[in-house]
């Protein structure tokens, strides 16, 4: 299906200002260290054509810009919770937009890639992305919020070439379940009809849709991709990501026991895992995706490799370049018969959308479902239970792991506090219940690590008030170490 309408015209106008970026790497400049990664890529003579950089401090972004000279950099933002109906009401939103604009200008990024997912639902905070409710009202809200963000960037973010970065939405992965009543490709089609944004298609995320929407029981992977791409607005895809997949640590022991009993058509319970090797199946999927006739807006093709060993990144990128270099060049330099759209020069300020109260209530229920306080029933949940068969893995394994171990193991972070809690027979499982006991509003820029540190001090104060001083001392040491780790010195220049 080909996109049309005023927002598509606006998208095309913005797209025309963006150069072809080529084959790149999407990285976290701290993990692995960017200087040594770039050196190893140079030594193998496979320098990436661009780097997509995940959000970090302005100092680290400025240092990255300096390090790569004139090289192309793009930005993978975070903290703009555009799936949430109350996004613009939060006091943190203005701060997040101003920060995103500053980061985009530091990098001189042609686009702002943001996951179409959230780490904040109805007052509850998460360490990793929670996918949106896939419903018609939710698509409407995402489109509205995306237009608003683009409008604010138009006002606050002007690159030196005179352009404004284009907003890209990345289709998020599924982690064991899907929530909603609408098919995922239709959800993105509706958004693209109502906003001038581009899209990022992540091949690993697409695999998780095949796996957790239960499509794999009904059809082959090839057929699934064909159907999915037939509905997904492929002419809005500006970037494609490929990253690793793996069984999650919280599920590994259980999964190896279950493997013995799996029937032949079962697929592994992989989820998105940037540190893991990229499985071959994703390149087979990419081959099929790159053949799609509506893939007419592609500017970049990147491996997403944060937290992965340097040697593995270099090996994978060398093979990736060998396999896709020439094809990508042909695809992006083919003469496109671009339709002549009537375009508006500046996006109008988005008007108020219809009441979002029902969606806010649906997200309230969603947060309760995620933590297991209520069951997935209600108009926002599909009658077909195929997509929630493994929801309990998220609730009972993944989510507690996220709070106790992800982004910092509590027992390693608060060594003395945890030892003394153990002496008092206080289980850390209580921290999970404490975290989700009541909603808390968003305050300031989103940082899960610092939030976890603050909340743990509060938890200790509640369950063992006499340990408060110890917890606070450990917390202050953690905050200082964190600040130091995120503000490294200027990396050495790579020749
Ligand atoms: Fe991605």
Q: What CA–CA distances, in Å, run from 20 to 183, 186, 227?
A: 31, 27, 28
| CA–centroid distance, residue 75 to ligand 1 (Å) | 12
- Mean pLDDT of the 261-286 span: 86
Shortest CA distance to 349 belongs to which of 165, 489, 150, 93? 150
Is residue 338 predicted with pLDDT exceeding 90?
Answer: no
Identify the residue with better confidence: 384 or 239.
239
* pLDDT on residue 266: 79
DSSP state letters, 83-150: TSTTGGGSHHHHHHHHHHHHHHHHHT-SEEEEESSEEEETTEEEEEEEPPPBSHHHHHHHHHHHHHHH
Is residue 261 predicted with pLDDT exceeding 60?
Answer: no
Mean pLDDT across the chain? 91
H or E element that contains 22: strand 22-27
* pLDDT on residue 249: 86
**Least confident piece of the model among 54-68, 227-241, 323-337:** 323-337
Is residue 4 predicted with pLDDT exceeding 80?
Answer: no
Classify residue 377 as exposed, middle or buried by CB count within 10 Å of its CB (0-12, 13-18, 19+).
Answer: exposed
Shortest CA distance to 171 belongs to which of 209, 216, 144, 135? 209
Identify the residue with better confidence: 350 or 122.
122
pLDDT category at 490 given cuts 50, 70, 90 is very low
pLDDT category at 334 given cuts 50, 70, 90 is confident
| CA–centroid distance, residue 308 to ligand 1 (Å) | 14
Tell me the per-residue pLDDT of 373-406, one tens digit each, with 9 for 90 and over.
999 988 999 888 889 999 999 999 999 999 999 9
> Three-class SS of residue 74?
strand
For residues 269 and 47, give the distance between their C-alpha atoms in angstroms, rounded to a whole number: 34
* pLDDT on residue 492: 35
| CA–centroid distance, residue 242 to ligand 1 (Å) | 7
User: Tokens 């509590």 appear where?
Assistant: 410
Shortest CA distance to 43 belongs to which of 329, 327, 313? 313
Tell me the per-residue pLDDT of 453-489, one tens digit each, with 9 for 90 and over.
999 999 999 999 999 999 999 999 999 999 888 765 4
* pLDDT on residue 349: 61
| CA–centroid distance, residue 367 to ligand 1 (Å) | 24
| CA–centroid distance, residue 113 to ligand 1 (Å) | 9
| CA–centroid distance, residue 201 to ligand 1 (Å) | 8
| CA–centroid distance, residue 437 to ligand 1 (Å) | 31
| CA–centroid distance, residue 420 to ligand 1 (Å) | 40
Tell me the per-residue pLDDT of 183-222, one tens digit each, with 9 for 90 and over.
999 999 999 999 999 999 999 999 999 999 989 999 999 9
Tell me the per-residue pLDDT of 72-106, one tens digit each, with 9 for 90 and over.
999 999 999 999 999 998 889 999 999 999 999 99
For residues 305 and 302, give the distance between their C-alpha atoms in angstroms, rounded to a whole number: 9
For residues 248 and 259, give the distance between their C-alpha atoms in angstroms, rounded to a whole number: 14
Q: What CA–CA distances, in Å, run from 43 to 32, 34, 495?
A: 17, 14, 10
User: What are 256's two structure tokens?
Assistant: 């190896």
Tell me the per-residue pLDDT of 147-196, one tens digit each, with 9 for 90 and over.
999 999 999 999 999 999 999 999 999 999 999 999 999 999 999 999 99
Is residue 336 predicted with pLDDT exceeding 70?
Answer: no
| CA–centroid distance, residue 243 to ligand 1 (Å) | 7
Is residue 285 predicted with pLDDT exceeding 80?
Answer: yes
- What Rg, from alpha-carbon coordinates, does the chain have? 22
| CA–centroid distance, residue 297 to ligand 1 (Å) | 17
| CA–centroid distance, residue 303 to ligand 1 (Å) | 8
> Three-class SS of residue 166?
strand
| CA–centroid distance, residue 312 to ligand 1 (Å) | 18
| CA–centroid distance, residue 205 to ligand 1 (Å) | 7
Q: What are the two backbone dihedrals, phi and then psi, of residue 415, each rounded to the nearest 5 degrees? A: -60, -50
DSSP state letters, 179-207: -BSS-HHHHHHHHHHHS--EEEEEHHHHH
User: What are 378's two structure tokens?
Assistant: 């209600």
């Amino acid at each position: 299906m080909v996109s049309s309408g005023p927002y598509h015209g606006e998208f095309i106008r913005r797209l025309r200002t963006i150069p072809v970026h080529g084959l790149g790497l999407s990285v976290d400049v701290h993990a692995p260290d960017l200087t040594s990664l770039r050196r190893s890529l140079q030594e193998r003579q496979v320098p990436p054509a661009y780097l997509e950089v995940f959000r970090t401090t302005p100092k680290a972004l400025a240092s990255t810009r300096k390090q790569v000279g004139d090289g192309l950099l793009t930005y993978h933002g975070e903290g703009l919770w555009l799936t949430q109906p109350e996004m613009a009401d939060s006091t943190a939103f203005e701060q997040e937009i101003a920060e995103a604009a500053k980061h985009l200008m530091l990098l001189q990024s042609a686009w702002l890639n943001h996951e179409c997912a959230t780490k904040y639902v109805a007052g509850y905070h998460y360490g990793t992305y929670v996918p949106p409710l896939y419903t018609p009202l939710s698509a409407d809200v995402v489109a509205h919020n995306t237009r608003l963000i683009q409008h604010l960037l138009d006002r606050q973010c002007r690159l030196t070439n005179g352009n404004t970065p284009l907003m890209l939405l990345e289709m998020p992965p599924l982690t064991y379940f899907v929530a909603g009543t609408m098919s995922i490709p239709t959800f993105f089609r509706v958004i693209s009809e109502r906003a001038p944004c581009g899209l990022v298609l992540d091949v690993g995320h697409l695999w998780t849709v095949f796996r957790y929407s239960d499509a794999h029981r009904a059809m082959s992977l090839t057929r699934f991709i064909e159907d999915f791409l037939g509905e997904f607005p492929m002419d809005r895809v500006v970037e494609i990501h490929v990253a690793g997949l793996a069984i999650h640590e919280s599920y590994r022991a259980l999964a190896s026991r279950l493997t013995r009993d799996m029937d032949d058509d079962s697929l592994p319970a992989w989820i998105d895992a940037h540190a893991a090797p990229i499985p071959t199946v994703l390149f087979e999927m990419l081959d099929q995706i790159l053949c799609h006739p509506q893939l007419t807006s592609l500017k970049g093709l990147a491996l997403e490799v944060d937290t992965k060993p340097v040697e593995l990144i270099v090996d994978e990128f060398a093979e990736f370049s060998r396999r896709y270099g020439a094809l990508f060049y042909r695809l992006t330099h083919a003469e496109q018969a671009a339709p002549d759209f009537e375009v508006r020069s500046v996006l109008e300020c988005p008007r108020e959308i219809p009441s979002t109260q029902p969606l806010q209530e649906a997200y309230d229920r969603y947060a309760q479902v995620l933590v297991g306080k209520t069951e997935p029933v209600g108009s926002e949940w599909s009658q077909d239970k195929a997509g929630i068969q493994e929801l309990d893995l998220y609730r009972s394994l993944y989510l507690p792991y996220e709070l106790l171990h992800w982004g910092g193991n509590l027992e390693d972070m608060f060594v003395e506090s945890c030892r003394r809690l153990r002496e008092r027979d206080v289980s850390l499982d209580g921290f999970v219940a404490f975290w989700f006991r009541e909603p808390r509003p968003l305050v300031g820029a989103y940082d899960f690590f610092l939030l976890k540190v603050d909340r743990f001090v509060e938890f200790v104060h509640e369950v063992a008030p006499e340990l408060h001083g110890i917890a606070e001392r450990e917390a202050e040491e953690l905050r200082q170490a964190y600040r130091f780790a995120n503000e490294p010195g200027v990396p050495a220049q790579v020749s």
